[in-house]
């Protein structure tokens, strides 16, 4: 454990070369990435990759652990520093450009390692003769990649730079043309300061990022029928003009002495933050989520359950209505889906909500149901236990105060015995006994301090009493420091969930995934907004 902590502390030290690498990568590509090999290796060990049959077989062949950091160091690369890359930067004439930048800790060692790869035939690389025209351009080696792209390798001090240029529908350029078109110094470097670009932190083990504003053009070009300039071309222009909340999106994975962290984020690079998408999360305190997070295998809490943020967004083009959206998805395929997932999923939700409201206009049942959803504030889902015969659960929701009459009307129609006021801890809710699809359940309705109405549904009276408890603090004990309320919070005791699922018969690959998750226990996630960033953060502790 001590050696692991020392390694993690070393990984947590910011790499000063990180910003320098991106200064050598141009802004203008739809996809960017960075990775730190040593950090990824530590994460693989943490997740138990060393137990995989393939890794064990490789270990037997090598006579040593393939995840040993010493094996990486013989490459001459600085494996503690990030490797940065950009992909599919558009080039006039229907071409594209990739660039990879890495830091070397020993240039001579890398040269020997590279020569060994060439002699083994593992990579189809040709060296450049000294004094040749290519050598005068600074090119050390060239390669033809499987997709037909031409790649060149150059050095810039202790930095290795690989440029590759290819064509979507034609012949790739000559290596000399690639060297002249892409000098080592770029005019407008990629700056990771705003939006989802903020995920490019020095300590991140892996970051994958896409600039959604440039994504439709790439997806349009990659369409199988793009050469005909038919529907794919129209789709790219159509989704370029569509309204959107976000400009970009990214995923990052990191490790530090306290644990593993994964972040999935959407951001804006200009205009109003998050395109005007605003949330106002408030914890009404219907149940003690903090207490249950230490006792239940799974707890999910949504503190901003209102649909208003999505309904209030302006929608245009294929997002103007649900019919237009579904028609465009059917016609445009990947171009539509890619833009929705990266930039416009809030507008897509808004279009679906608007459609549901318009279709319910003459339905006497749907109108009050949607009215209740409009007054929804918090939603909490709790798993207490799961067995072959019974699922023990609780669902809690809070509504604006005016929703109580409608809730009691619905529950009264489903509970033949009516309601009974029942003291539970400090609360005295009206309790109903229901039969939901033939399965017994208990429901409680009460008004909370401040006016919100709480509805709690559980599998039994026992679970209802369990979930409505509150933490009792010792006299004089300090209250915990208040924390900002997230939009969403999730707590998973993955070890307990793995135990609950032990009776299920998984295949070997699924079981390996379950075992890896069990190592990450507990898992805590939160969804928050932070200026120009809408971010889901997932954390799990580091254990020996």
State the pLDDT at residue 17.
44
Question: Is residue 14's pLDDT more than 50?
Answer: no
- Domain assignments of the chain as residue spans, ordered by start: 2-191, 375-473+482-537
DSSP state of 321: S
- Averaged pLDDT, 298-325: 91
CA angle 119, 120, 124 (to 5 degrees): 80
- Averaged pLDDT, 328-346: 93
Question: Is residue 451's pLDDT more than 60?
Answer: yes
Structure tokens at 322: 């649900």
Question: Is residue 474's pLDDT more than 60?
Answer: no
Q: How far, in Å, CA of 95 to CA of 174, rounded? A: 13
pLDDT in tens, 372-422: 556 788 999 999 987 766 789 999 999 888 888 888 888 888 888 889 999
Q: Measuring CA to CA, which residue among 151, 186, 288, 198 is closest to residue 534?
A: 198
pLDDT in tens, 190-222: 999 899 999 998 889 999 999 999 998 898 888
Kind of pairing, strands 31-35 and 204-211? antiparallel
Measured between alpha carbons, how far is residue 39 from residues 101, 142, 144, 206, 255 in Å? 17, 29, 30, 8, 7
pLDDT in tens, 143-182: 888 888 999 999 998 899 999 999 988 788 899 999 999 9
Q: How far, in Å, CA of 416 to CA of 313, rounded? A: 43
Kind of pairing, strands 259-267 and 95-103? unpaired
The secondary structure of 129-158 as a DSSP string is PTTSHHHHTTEEEEEE-TTS-EEEEEEETT
Question: Is residue 8's pLDDT more than 50?
Answer: no
Instruction: Supply the CATH classification number for the domain 375-473+482-537.
Output: 3.40.1000
Q: How far, in Å, CA of 487 to CA of 477, rounded? A: 29
Q: How far, in Å, CA of 506 to CA of 359, rounded? A: 42
Q: How far, in Å, CA of 163 to CA of 451, rounded? A: 62
340: confidence class by pLDDT, cuts 50, 70, 90: very high
H/E segment holding residue 252: strand 248-256
The secondary structure of 502-517 as a DSSP string is GGS---HHHHHHHHHH
State the pLDDT at residue 98.
96
State the pLDDT at residue 362.
53
H/E segment holding residue 401: none
State the pLDDT at residue 479.
61
Structure tokens at 291: 């207490």
State the pLDDT at residue 69.
63
DSSP state of 360: T
Structure tokens at 363: 């339905």
DSSP state of 26: B
Higher pLDDT, 519 or 14: 519
Dihedral-angle region of residue 38 (phi above 0 means left; psi in -120 to 50 means alpha; beta otherwise)? alpha
pLDDT in tens, 22-69: 899 999 999 999 998 888 887 777 776 666 676 667 666 656 666 666
Q: How far, in Å, CA of 337 to CA of 79, rounded? A: 36
Buried b / exposed e across 13-34, counting CB within 10 Å, b at 16+?
eebebbbbbbebbbbbbbbbbb
Q: How far, in Å, CA of 164 to CA of 154, rounded? A: 11
pLDDT in tens, 249-305: 999 999 887 888 999 999 999 989 999 999 999 999 898 898 888 889 999 999 988
Q: How far, in Å, CA of 111 to CA of 104, rounded? A: 10
């Amino acid at each position: 454990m001590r050696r692991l902590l020392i390694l993690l502390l070393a990984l947590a030290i910011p790499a000063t070369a990180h910003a320098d690498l991106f200064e050598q990568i141009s802004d203008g590509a739809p996809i960017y990435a960075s990775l730190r090999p040593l950090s990824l290796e530590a994460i693989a060990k943490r997740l138990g990759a060393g137990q995989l049959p393939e890794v064990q077989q490789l270990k037997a062949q090598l006579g040593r652990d393939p995840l040993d950091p010493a094996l990486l160091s013989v490459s001459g690369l600085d494996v503690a520093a990030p490797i940065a890359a950009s992909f599919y930067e558009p080039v006039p004439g229907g071409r594209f450009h990739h660039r990879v930048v890495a830091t070397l800790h020993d240039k001579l060692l890398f040269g020997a390692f590279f020569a060994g790869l060439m002699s083994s035939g593992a990579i189809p690389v040709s060296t450049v003769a000294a004094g040749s025209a290519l050598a005068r351009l600074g090119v050390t080696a060239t390669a033809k990649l499987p997709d037909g792209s031409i790649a060149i390798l150059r050095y810039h001090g202790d930095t290795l730079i690989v440029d590759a240029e290819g064509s979507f529908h034609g012949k790739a350029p000559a290596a000399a043309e690639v060297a002249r078109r892409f000098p080592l110094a770029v005019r407008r470097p990629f700056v990771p300061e705003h939006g989802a670009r903020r995920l490019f932190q020095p300590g991140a083990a892996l970051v994958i990022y896409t600039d959604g504003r440039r994504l439709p053009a790439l997806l349009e070009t990659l369409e199988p029928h793009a050469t005909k300039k038919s529907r794919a071309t129209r789709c790219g222009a159509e989704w370029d003009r569509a309204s959107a909340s976000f400009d970009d999106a990214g995923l990052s994975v990191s490790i530090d002495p306290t644990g593993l962290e994964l972040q999935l984020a959407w951001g804006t690079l200009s205009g109003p933050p998050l395109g005007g998408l605003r949330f106002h999360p408030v914890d009404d305190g219907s149940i003690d989520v903090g207490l249950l997070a230490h006792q239940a295998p799974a707890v999910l809490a949504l503190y901003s359950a209102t649909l208003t943020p999505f309904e209030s967004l302006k929608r245009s083009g294929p997002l103007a209505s649900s019919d237009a959206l579904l028609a465009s998805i059917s016609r445009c395929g990947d171009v539509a889906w890619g833009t929705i997932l990266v930039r416009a999923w809030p507008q897509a939700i808004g279009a679906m909500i608007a459609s549901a409201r318009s279709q319910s206009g003459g339905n006497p049942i749907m109108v009050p149901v949607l009215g209740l959803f409009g007054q929804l504030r918090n939603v909490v889902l709790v798993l207490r236990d799961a067995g072959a015969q019974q699922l023990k659960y609780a669902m809690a929701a809070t509504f604006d105060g005016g929703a109580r009459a409608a809730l009691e009307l619905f529950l009264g129609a489903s509970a033949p015995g009516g309601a009974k006021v029942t003291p539970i801890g400090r609360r005295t809710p009206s309790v109903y006994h229901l039969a939901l699809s033939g399965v017994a359940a208990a429901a409680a309705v009460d008004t909370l301090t401040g006016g919100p109405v709480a509805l709690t549904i559980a599998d039994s009276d026992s679970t209802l009493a369990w979930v409505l408890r509150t933490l009792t603090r010792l006299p004089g004990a300090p209250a915990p420091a208040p924390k900002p309320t997230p939009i969403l919070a999730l707590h998973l005791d993955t070890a307990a969930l793995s135990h609950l699922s032990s009776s299920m018969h998984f295949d070997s690959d699924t079981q390996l995934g379950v075992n890896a998750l069990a190592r990450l226990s507990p898992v805590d996630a939160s969804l928050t907004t932070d200026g120009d960033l809408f971010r889901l953060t997932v954390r799990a502790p580091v254990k020996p």
